[in-house]
A and B are shown apart, each in its own frame.
Chain A
Protein backbone atom coordinates (compact mmCIF):
# COMPACT_ATOMS: atom_id res chain seq x y z
CA UNK A 1 0.00 0.00 0.00
CA UNK A 2 1.41 3.34 -1.02
CA UNK A 3 1.31 5.98 1.70
CA UNK A 4 -0.37 9.28 0.74
CA UNK A 5 1.81 11.26 3.14
CA UNK A 6 5.42 11.72 2.13
CA UNK A 7 8.60 12.54 3.92
CA UNK A 8 8.34 16.27 3.37
CA UNK A 9 12.01 17.05 3.71
CA UNK A 10 12.78 14.69 0.84
CA UNK A 11 9.76 15.03 -1.42
CA UNK A 12 7.03 17.43 -2.37
CA UNK A 13 3.77 16.90 -0.47
CA UNK A 14 1.06 14.88 -2.20
CA UNK A 15 -2.09 16.54 -3.49
CA UNK A 16 -4.23 14.80 -0.85
CA UNK A 17 -1.87 15.94 1.90
CA UNK A 18 -2.22 19.55 0.77
CA UNK A 19 -6.03 19.31 0.79
CA UNK A 20 -6.24 18.23 4.46
CA UNK A 21 -6.67 21.79 5.88
CA UNK A 22 -9.67 22.41 3.61
CA UNK A 23 -11.10 19.05 4.64
CA UNK A 24 -10.84 20.09 8.30
CA UNK A 25 -12.60 23.38 7.48
CA UNK A 26 -15.32 21.58 5.51
CA UNK A 27 -14.74 23.63 2.34
CA UNK A 28 -13.80 20.88 -0.11
CA UNK A 29 -16.05 19.76 -2.94
CA UNK A 30 -17.89 16.47 -2.32
CA UNK A 31 -15.55 14.69 -4.75
CA UNK A 32 -12.33 15.92 -3.09
CA UNK A 33 -13.76 15.30 0.40
CA UNK A 34 -14.42 11.68 -0.61
CA UNK A 35 -10.86 11.32 -1.96
CA UNK A 36 -9.44 12.66 1.30
CA UNK A 37 -11.70 10.40 3.42
CA UNK A 38 -10.54 7.35 1.48
CA UNK A 39 -6.88 8.30 1.84
CA UNK A 40 -7.32 8.92 5.59
CA UNK A 41 -8.93 5.50 5.99
CA UNK A 42 -5.96 3.69 4.47
CA UNK A 43 -3.01 5.83 5.69
CA UNK A 44 -2.43 6.15 9.47
CA UNK A 45 0.44 8.64 8.92
CA UNK A 46 -1.94 10.93 7.06
CA UNK A 47 -4.40 10.50 9.95
CA UNK A 48 -1.74 11.70 12.38
CA UNK A 49 -1.15 14.79 10.28
CA UNK A 50 -4.90 15.39 10.05
CA UNK A 51 -5.16 15.31 13.86
CA UNK A 52 -2.48 18.04 14.03
CA UNK A 53 -4.39 20.07 11.43
CA UNK A 54 -7.63 19.84 13.42
CA UNK A 55 -5.74 21.20 16.42
CA UNK A 56 -4.38 24.11 14.32
CA UNK A 57 -7.87 24.72 12.94
CA UNK A 58 -9.45 24.91 16.41
CA UNK A 59 -6.72 27.19 17.80
CA UNK A 60 -6.85 29.52 14.76
CA UNK A 61 -10.57 30.00 15.35
CA UNK A 62 -9.97 30.45 19.08
CA UNK A 63 -7.22 33.00 18.44
CA UNK A 64 -9.32 35.05 16.01
CA UNK A 65 -12.32 34.97 18.34
CA UNK A 66 -10.25 36.62 21.08
CA UNK A 67 -9.39 39.58 18.82
CA UNK A 68 -12.57 41.43 19.74
CA UNK A 69 -14.37 43.92 17.55
CA UNK A 70 -13.68 47.46 16.34
CA UNK A 71 -14.90 50.41 18.41
CA UNK A 72 -17.83 52.60 17.41
CA UNK A 73 -15.26 55.15 16.23
CA UNK A 74 -14.63 53.13 13.05
CA UNK A 75 -18.32 53.13 12.16
CA UNK A 76 -18.68 56.86 12.93
CA UNK A 77 -15.66 57.61 10.75
CA UNK A 78 -17.07 55.51 7.90
CA UNK A 79 -20.54 57.07 7.89
CA UNK A 80 -19.09 60.60 8.24
CA UNK A 81 -16.97 59.87 5.15
CA UNK A 82 -20.01 58.52 3.29
CA UNK A 83 -21.99 61.65 4.19
CA UNK A 84 -19.16 63.78 2.83
CA UNK A 85 -19.21 61.91 -0.50
CA UNK A 86 -20.67 63.79 -3.50
CA UNK A 87 -24.23 62.82 -4.48
CA UNK A 88 -24.19 59.55 -6.42
CA UNK A 89 -25.57 58.97 -9.90
CA UNK A 90 -28.71 56.83 -9.87
CA UNK A 91 -27.98 53.12 -10.08
CA UNK A 92 -28.98 50.81 -12.93
CA UNK A 93 -31.62 49.30 -10.63
CA UNK A 94 -33.12 52.75 -10.02
CA UNK A 95 -33.22 53.50 -13.75
CA UNK A 96 -34.88 50.12 -14.40
CA UNK A 97 -37.51 50.66 -11.71
CA UNK A 98 -38.23 54.13 -13.14
CA UNK A 99 -38.80 52.59 -16.58
CA UNK A 100 -41.12 49.94 -15.14
CA UNK A 101 -43.19 52.53 -13.29
CA UNK A 102 -43.17 54.66 -16.48
CA UNK A 103 -44.55 51.70 -18.44
CA UNK A 104 -47.43 51.20 -15.98
CA UNK A 105 -48.13 54.94 -15.95
CA UNK A 106 -48.52 54.86 -19.73
CA UNK A 107 -51.32 52.24 -19.59
CA UNK A 108 -54.93 53.41 -19.72
CA UNK A 109 -56.92 53.06 -16.44
CA UNK A 110 -59.13 50.35 -18.03
CA UNK A 111 -56.13 48.25 -19.16
CA UNK A 112 -54.52 48.72 -15.76
CA UNK A 113 -57.71 47.63 -13.95
CA UNK A 114 -57.94 44.46 -16.10
CA UNK A 115 -54.28 43.65 -15.50
CA UNK A 116 -54.69 44.13 -11.75
CA UNK A 117 -57.78 41.86 -11.68
CA UNK A 118 -55.93 39.13 -13.58
CA UNK A 119 -52.95 39.49 -11.24
CA UNK A 120 -55.18 39.22 -8.15
CA UNK A 121 -56.85 36.10 -9.57
CA UNK A 122 -53.44 34.51 -10.22
CA UNK A 123 -52.42 35.26 -6.61
CA UNK A 124 -55.56 33.67 -5.18
CA UNK A 125 -55.00 30.52 -7.27
CA UNK A 126 -51.35 30.37 -6.25
CA UNK A 127 -52.26 30.76 -2.55
CA UNK A 128 -54.75 27.90 -2.90
CA UNK A 129 -52.15 25.58 -4.41
CA UNK A 130 -49.53 26.47 -1.75
CA UNK A 131 -52.12 26.00 1.04
CA UNK A 132 -53.07 22.56 -0.29
CA UNK A 133 -49.42 21.47 -0.47
CA UNK A 134 -48.76 22.71 3.08
CA UNK A 135 -51.81 20.93 4.50
CA UNK A 136 -50.68 17.70 2.84
CA UNK A 137 -47.14 17.93 4.32
CA UNK A 138 -48.10 19.25 7.75
CA UNK A 139 -46.81 16.19 9.63
CA UNK A 140 -43.24 16.70 8.45
CA UNK A 141 -42.55 20.07 10.07
CA UNK A 142 -40.12 20.68 12.91
CA UNK A 143 -38.90 23.62 14.92
CA UNK A 144 -35.25 24.43 15.58
CA UNK A 145 -34.04 25.49 19.00
CA UNK A 146 -32.52 28.78 17.91
CA UNK A 147 -32.72 32.10 19.70
CA UNK A 148 -34.78 34.88 18.23
CA UNK A 149 -32.61 37.48 16.52
CA UNK A 150 -34.65 40.13 18.35
CA UNK A 151 -33.50 39.00 21.75
CA UNK A 152 -31.01 41.31 23.46
CA UNK A 153 -27.33 40.47 23.15
CA UNK A 154 -26.08 38.35 26.03
CA UNK A 155 -22.50 39.53 25.98
CA UNK A 156 -21.00 41.47 28.88
CA UNK A 157 -23.31 44.38 29.61
CA UNK A 158 -22.62 47.85 30.95
CA UNK A 159 -23.38 46.83 34.52
CA UNK A 160 -20.46 44.39 34.33
CA UNK A 161 -22.45 41.14 34.44
CA UNK A 162 -20.57 38.24 32.90
CA UNK A 163 -22.29 36.48 30.00
CA UNK A 164 -23.00 32.74 29.87
CA UNK A 165 -20.34 30.73 28.00
CA UNK A 166 -20.47 30.33 24.24
CA UNK A 167 -18.73 27.96 21.86
CA UNK A 168 -18.30 27.51 18.14
CA UNK A 169 -19.38 24.00 17.25
CA UNK A 170 -19.17 22.00 14.04
CA UNK A 171 -21.45 18.96 13.99
CA UNK A 172 -20.55 15.71 12.22
CA UNK A 173 -21.86 15.66 8.63
CA UNK A 174 -24.06 12.64 9.44
CA UNK A 175 -25.57 14.19 12.63
CA UNK A 176 -29.37 14.07 12.57
CA UNK A 177 -31.55 17.01 13.59
CA UNK A 178 -33.04 14.88 16.37
CA UNK A 179 -29.52 14.17 17.74
CA UNK A 180 -28.61 17.86 17.63
CA UNK A 181 -31.84 18.80 19.39
CA UNK A 182 -31.17 16.18 22.08
CA UNK A 183 -27.63 17.54 22.56
CA UNK A 184 -28.94 21.10 22.87
CA UNK A 185 -31.44 19.93 25.50
CA UNK A 186 -28.80 17.97 27.46
CA UNK A 187 -26.46 20.96 27.59
CA UNK A 188 -29.23 23.55 28.10
CA UNK A 189 -27.81 25.15 24.98
CA UNK A 190 -29.28 27.33 22.28
CA UNK A 191 -28.04 28.35 18.85
CA UNK A 192 -27.10 32.03 18.75
CA UNK A 193 -26.01 32.16 15.11
CA UNK A 194 -24.51 30.05 12.37
CA UNK A 195 -22.11 30.57 9.48
CA UNK A 196 -21.16 27.93 6.98
CA UNK A 197 -21.09 24.72 8.97
CA UNK A 198 -20.22 26.38 12.31
CA UNK A 199 -22.81 27.05 15.00
CA UNK A 200 -22.36 29.48 17.89
CA UNK A 201 -23.98 27.88 20.93
CA UNK A 202 -24.78 29.49 24.27
CA UNK A 203 -24.92 27.33 27.39
CA UNK A 204 -27.53 28.10 30.02
CA UNK A 205 -28.09 31.63 31.26
CA UNK A 206 -25.41 31.92 33.92
CA UNK A 207 -21.69 32.59 33.81
CA UNK A 208 -19.28 29.69 34.48
CA UNK A 209 -15.77 29.53 35.90
CA UNK A 210 -12.83 28.87 33.54
CA UNK A 211 -12.60 25.27 34.78
CA UNK A 212 -16.31 24.67 34.26
CA UNK A 213 -16.09 26.03 30.72
CA UNK A 214 -13.04 23.89 30.01
CA UNK A 215 -14.86 20.78 31.35
CA UNK A 216 -17.94 21.63 29.31
CA UNK A 217 -15.88 21.96 26.10
CA UNK A 218 -14.04 18.69 26.74
CA UNK A 219 -17.35 16.90 27.31
CA UNK A 220 -18.81 18.48 24.19
CA UNK A 221 -15.75 17.56 22.12
CA UNK A 222 -16.26 13.97 23.25
CA UNK A 223 -19.78 13.82 21.81
CA UNK A 224 -20.11 11.52 18.82
CA UNK A 225 -21.94 14.08 16.71
CA UNK A 226 -19.52 16.94 17.48
CA UNK A 227 -16.51 17.37 15.18
CA UNK A 228 -15.17 20.52 16.77
CA UNK A 229 -15.94 22.67 19.82
CA UNK A 230 -13.95 25.78 20.74
CA UNK A 231 -14.67 28.59 23.18
CA UNK A 232 -16.12 31.72 21.58
CA UNK A 233 -17.51 35.12 22.52
Chain B
Protein backbone atom coordinates (compact mmCIF):
# COMPACT_ATOMS: atom_id res chain seq x y z
CA UNK B 1 0.00 0.00 0.00
CA UNK B 2 2.90 2.35 0.80
CA UNK B 3 4.35 1.83 -2.70
CA UNK B 4 0.96 2.39 -4.33
CA UNK B 5 0.38 5.49 -2.21
CA UNK B 6 3.86 6.83 -2.89
CA UNK B 7 3.44 6.39 -6.63
CA UNK B 8 -0.05 7.83 -7.08
CA UNK B 9 -1.02 10.09 -4.17
CA UNK B 10 0.15 13.38 -5.71
CA UNK B 11 -1.83 12.92 -8.93
CA UNK B 12 -4.88 11.66 -7.04
CA UNK B 13 -4.65 14.71 -4.75
CA UNK B 14 -4.33 17.13 -7.67
CA UNK B 15 -7.25 15.57 -9.54
CA UNK B 16 -9.40 15.74 -6.39
CA UNK B 17 -8.29 19.29 -5.58
CA UNK B 18 -9.23 20.52 -9.06
CA UNK B 19 -12.69 19.07 -8.55
CA UNK B 20 -13.46 20.11 -4.96
CA UNK B 21 -11.25 23.27 -4.86
CA UNK B 22 -10.49 22.85 -1.16
CA UNK B 23 -7.14 21.49 0.05
CA UNK B 24 -8.57 20.15 3.31
CA UNK B 25 -11.34 18.25 1.53
CA UNK B 26 -8.89 17.03 -1.14
CA UNK B 27 -6.59 15.63 1.57
CA UNK B 28 -9.51 13.87 3.27
CA UNK B 29 -10.47 12.58 -0.14
CA UNK B 30 -7.16 10.83 -0.81
CA UNK B 31 -7.26 9.06 2.56
CA UNK B 32 -10.77 7.81 1.69
CA UNK B 33 -9.70 6.78 -1.83
CA UNK B 34 -6.71 4.71 -0.72
CA UNK B 35 -8.69 3.20 2.17
CA UNK B 36 -11.29 2.07 -0.38
CA UNK B 37 -8.49 0.63 -2.50
CA UNK B 38 -7.20 -1.25 0.56
CA UNK B 39 -10.69 -2.63 1.22
CA UNK B 40 -11.50 -3.50 -2.40
CA UNK B 41 -8.10 -4.66 -3.67
CA UNK B 42 -9.59 -8.06 -4.52
CA UNK B 43 -12.12 -6.43 -6.87
CA UNK B 44 -9.50 -4.84 -9.11
CA UNK B 45 -9.63 -6.88 -12.29
CA UNK B 46 -6.53 -5.52 -13.97
CA UNK B 47 -8.43 -4.63 -17.14
CA UNK B 48 -7.48 -0.97 -16.74
CA UNK B 49 -4.42 0.84 -15.44
CA UNK B 50 -4.26 1.26 -11.65
CA UNK B 51 -4.18 5.04 -12.13
CA UNK B 52 -7.45 4.88 -14.12
CA UNK B 53 -9.08 2.89 -11.32
CA UNK B 54 -7.80 5.35 -8.69
CA UNK B 55 -9.04 8.39 -10.65
CA UNK B 56 -12.49 6.80 -11.05
CA UNK B 57 -12.75 6.27 -7.27
CA UNK B 58 -11.44 9.81 -6.64
CA UNK B 59 -14.05 11.27 -8.97
CA UNK B 60 -16.86 9.42 -7.21
CA UNK B 61 -15.64 10.55 -3.79
CA UNK B 62 -15.17 14.15 -4.98
CA UNK B 63 -18.69 14.32 -6.38
CA UNK B 64 -20.07 12.95 -3.10
CA UNK B 65 -18.09 15.58 -1.19
CA UNK B 66 -19.38 18.31 -3.50
CA UNK B 67 -22.95 17.10 -3.02
CA UNK B 68 -22.44 17.29 0.71
CA UNK B 69 -21.26 20.86 0.42
CA UNK B 70 -24.23 21.74 -1.81
CA UNK B 71 -22.27 24.41 -3.62
CA UNK B 72 -23.01 23.53 -7.22
CA UNK B 73 -23.52 27.21 -7.99
CA UNK B 74 -19.85 27.82 -7.13
CA UNK B 75 -18.85 26.91 -10.70
CA UNK B 76 -21.00 29.63 -12.23
CA UNK B 77 -19.64 32.16 -9.75
CA UNK B 78 -16.08 31.22 -10.67
CA UNK B 79 -16.84 31.47 -14.39
CA UNK B 80 -18.44 34.88 -13.94
CA UNK B 81 -15.42 36.08 -11.96
CA UNK B 82 -13.45 36.24 -15.19
CA UNK B 83 -16.07 38.29 -17.02
CA UNK B 84 -16.72 40.52 -14.01
CA UNK B 85 -13.12 41.69 -13.90
CA UNK B 86 -13.08 45.42 -13.16
CA UNK B 87 -10.25 45.88 -15.64
CA UNK B 88 -10.88 46.56 -19.30
CA UNK B 89 -10.02 43.26 -21.12
CA UNK B 90 -7.01 44.79 -22.89
CA UNK B 91 -5.67 46.11 -19.59
CA UNK B 92 -6.19 42.70 -18.00
CA UNK B 93 -4.12 41.03 -20.71
CA UNK B 94 -1.31 43.54 -20.57
CA UNK B 95 -1.11 43.01 -16.80
CA UNK B 96 -0.66 39.26 -17.18
CA UNK B 97 0.82 37.09 -19.86
CA UNK B 98 -1.44 34.91 -21.98
CA UNK B 99 -0.37 31.74 -20.17
CA UNK B 100 -1.47 33.18 -16.85
CA UNK B 101 -4.86 34.20 -18.25
CA UNK B 102 -5.23 30.74 -19.80
CA UNK B 103 -4.59 29.13 -16.40
CA UNK B 104 -7.20 31.38 -14.77
CA UNK B 105 -9.71 30.42 -17.44
CA UNK B 106 -8.89 26.71 -16.98
CA UNK B 107 -9.64 27.17 -13.27
CA UNK B 108 -12.91 28.93 -14.08
CA UNK B 109 -14.33 26.05 -16.14
CA UNK B 110 -17.22 24.06 -14.67
CA UNK B 111 -16.31 20.92 -12.67
CA UNK B 112 -17.55 18.75 -15.57
CA UNK B 113 -15.28 20.57 -18.02
CA UNK B 114 -12.31 20.80 -15.63
CA UNK B 115 -12.28 17.07 -15.02
CA UNK B 116 -12.30 16.16 -18.71
CA UNK B 117 -9.57 18.68 -19.56
CA UNK B 118 -7.40 17.40 -16.69
CA UNK B 119 -7.98 13.74 -17.49
CA UNK B 120 -6.94 14.18 -21.12
CA UNK B 121 -4.15 16.76 -20.84
CA UNK B 122 -2.62 16.17 -17.41
CA UNK B 123 -3.45 12.56 -16.59
CA UNK B 124 -2.94 11.53 -20.25
CA UNK B 125 -5.98 9.27 -20.41
CA UNK B 126 -7.24 7.90 -23.72
CA UNK B 127 -10.82 8.36 -24.95
CA UNK B 128 -11.67 4.86 -23.71
CA UNK B 129 -10.09 5.44 -20.26
CA UNK B 130 -11.90 8.76 -19.77
CA UNK B 131 -15.18 7.05 -20.73
CA UNK B 132 -14.49 4.44 -18.04
CA UNK B 133 -13.60 7.00 -15.36
CA UNK B 134 -16.47 9.41 -16.02
CA UNK B 135 -19.01 6.71 -16.94
CA UNK B 136 -20.12 8.14 -20.28
CA UNK B 137 -19.93 6.82 -23.89
CA UNK B 138 -16.71 7.47 -25.85
CA UNK B 139 -18.45 9.81 -28.32
CA UNK B 140 -19.75 11.89 -25.41
CA UNK B 141 -16.17 12.12 -24.08
CA UNK B 142 -15.03 13.62 -27.39
CA UNK B 143 -17.88 16.12 -27.68
CA UNK B 144 -17.65 17.08 -23.99
CA UNK B 145 -13.98 17.98 -24.36
CA UNK B 146 -14.73 19.88 -27.55
CA UNK B 147 -17.37 21.99 -25.77
CA UNK B 148 -15.10 22.42 -22.74
CA UNK B 149 -12.54 23.88 -25.14
CA UNK B 150 -15.20 26.08 -26.72
CA UNK B 151 -16.15 27.40 -23.26
CA UNK B 152 -12.46 28.01 -22.55
CA UNK B 153 -12.20 30.02 -25.77
CA UNK B 154 -15.21 32.12 -24.69
CA UNK B 155 -13.64 32.80 -21.28
CA UNK B 156 -10.37 33.76 -22.95
CA UNK B 157 -12.17 36.09 -25.35
CA UNK B 158 -13.97 37.72 -22.41
CA UNK B 159 -10.55 38.22 -20.79
CA UNK B 160 -9.21 39.83 -23.98
CA UNK B 161 -7.29 36.91 -25.46
CA UNK B 162 -8.01 36.11 -29.11
CA UNK B 163 -6.39 32.92 -30.38
CA UNK B 164 -7.95 32.67 -33.81
CA UNK B 165 -10.08 29.73 -32.72
CA UNK B 166 -13.03 29.17 -32.89
Contact = CB atoms under 8 A, between A and B. Distances in A.
A78 B35 contact: yes
B165 A57 contact: no
Instruction: Report whether over half of chain B's contact residues are helix, strand or loop; otherwise say mixed.
Output: helix
B143 interface: yes
Contact of A60 (B35, B98, B117, B150): B117
Contacts of A198: 124
B142 A19 contact: yes
Nearest to A53: B149
A195 B10 CA distance: 14
User: Taking chain A's interface residues, is the majority helix, strand, or loop, or is none over half, making it mixed?
Assistant: helix
Interface size class of A (residues with CB under 8 A): 35 or more
A164 interface: no
A21 B125 CA distance: 11
Contact of A9 (B31, B163, B166): B166
Contacts of A73: 27
A85 B102 contact: no
Interface string A163-176: 00000000000000
Contact of A74 (B1, B13, B39, B42): B13
A58 B106 CA distance: 12
A64 B14 contact: yes
A70 interface: yes
Interface residues of B, number: 46
A14 to B, nearest CB: 10
A60 B122 contact: yes
Contact of B149 (A56, A67, A70): A56
A180 interface: no
A53 B39 CA distance: 39
Contacts of B164: 48, 52
Interface string B14-32: 1001100000001110110
Nearest to A196: B124
A226 interface: no
B133 interface: no
Interface string B150-166: 10110000000001111
Interface stretch (A22-30, A98-106, A123-131): A22-30
A78 B31 contact: yes
B60 interface: no
12 contacts: A9-B166, A17-B146, A21-B121, A49-B166, A52-B165, A56-B117, A60-B121, A67-B14, A75-B9, A77-B27, A77-B28, A78-B35
Interface of B: 1, 5, 9-10, 13-14, 17-18, 26-28, 30-31, 34-35, 38-39, 41-42, 98-99, 102-103, 106-107, 117-118, 120-122, 124-127, 142-143, 145-146, 149-150, 152-153, 163-166
Interface of A: 8-9, 13, 15, 17-19, 21-22, 24-28, 48-49, 52-53, 55-64, 67, 69-71, 73-75, 77-79, 81-82, 85, 91-92, 195-198
Minimum-distance CB pairs A-B, first 10:
A60-B121, A18-B142, A74-B27, A78-B31, A70-B13, A64-B122, A59-B102, A77-B31, A67-B14, A63-B103
